[in-house]
Structure 1
């Protein structure tokens, strides 16, 4: 199993951070690999919402990275499953409020199947790069406060 996680402290309240994360249309603002995103179906920011994404892939190719929200606990937790693309991890954001802001934990887990098992180290490295983007989230949200 491949797993990656990261944590960052953001000087914003939990509800602001949650609302920003739950709205998939914000992804290009903090995840530079996302080139296009739209709400494909379901309730915006709620359980069942599917966001269709195009992402910069290997060799300059564009790849799918659609995901569906499977957990939506405002101000506390947001979970999702990637439903299209070469890798289909499960991810979650856990939020913990403090007087001065919010601690955000971002984790991704993937159970590789087939040929993906042979690419384990590369998949783990890509997932680590994805969770490291929490630093971008921090920068974007703190500059707006």
Structure 2
């Protein structure tokens, strides 16, 4: 299984961090590979919401990466499943209030089919790059 995780502390309350993360329309502000995004169905930031997302794929080609929010616990947890595209990881943002703000732990997991396991290290690198963007999230939210 391909796995990546990262953690950052953001100097803002957990409810504010959650609200920003839960609104998928904020993704282009901090995730460099997001070309476009729209709420496809459901209520923004709630379980069941589906976002249609176009990402920058290999060689700059557009790639679908639609995702569905599978669990939304304001101020605590936001989980999702990618539902379109060649790779369909599950991810979660676990939020914990600290004395200095909110610790955000972001993890991605992808079970690769047997025939694609030779790509495990490449997929893991891509996922590691994605979770590393938490530093961008911190900068954007703290800048207000």
TM-score bracket, normalised by the shorter chain, equals: over 0.9
Is the 2:17–2:75 Cα contact (8 Å) retained in structure 1?
A: yes
User: Corresponding residue for 1:20?
Assistant: 20
Ranges in structure 1 where 5+ consecutive residues have no aligned partner: none
User: Secondary structure of 2:88's partner?
Assistant: coil
Ranges in structure 2 where 5+ consecutive residues have no aligned partner: none
User: Secondary structure of 2:85's partner?
Assistant: coil
User: Secondary structure of 1:26's partner?
Assistant: helix
User: Secondary structure of 1:20's partner?
Assistant: helix
User: Corresponding residue for 2:84?
Assistant: 84
C-alpha distance in structure 2 between counterparts of 1:131 and 1:93, whole Å = 10
User: Corresponding residue for 1:65?
Assistant: 65
C-alpha distance in structure 2 between counterparts of 1:19 and 1:52, whole Å = 19
User: Secondary structure of 1:38's partner?
Assistant: strand
C-alpha distance in structure 2 between counterparts of 1:79 and 1:85, whole Å = 18
TM-score when normalising by structure 1:
0.97
User: Corresponding residue for 1:124?
Assistant: 124
The alignment yields a C-alpha RMSD, in angstroms, of 0.8
User: Secondary structure of 1:43's partner?
Assistant: coil
User: Corresponding residue for 2:2?
Assistant: 2
Which of structure 1's runs of 4+ aligned residues deviate more than 3 A?
none
TM-score when normalising by structure 2:
0.98
Is the 2:9–2:100 Cα contact (8 Å) retained in structure 1?
A: no
Residue 32 (structure 1) aligned with residue 25 (structure 2): no
C-alpha distance in structure 2 between counterparts of 1:59 and 1:85, whole Å = 16
Instruction: Kindly state the Cα deviation for residue 77 of structure 1 after the two structures are TM-superposed.
Output: 0.3
User: Corresponding residue for 1:52?
Assistant: 52
User: Secondary structure of 1:108's partner?
Assistant: strand
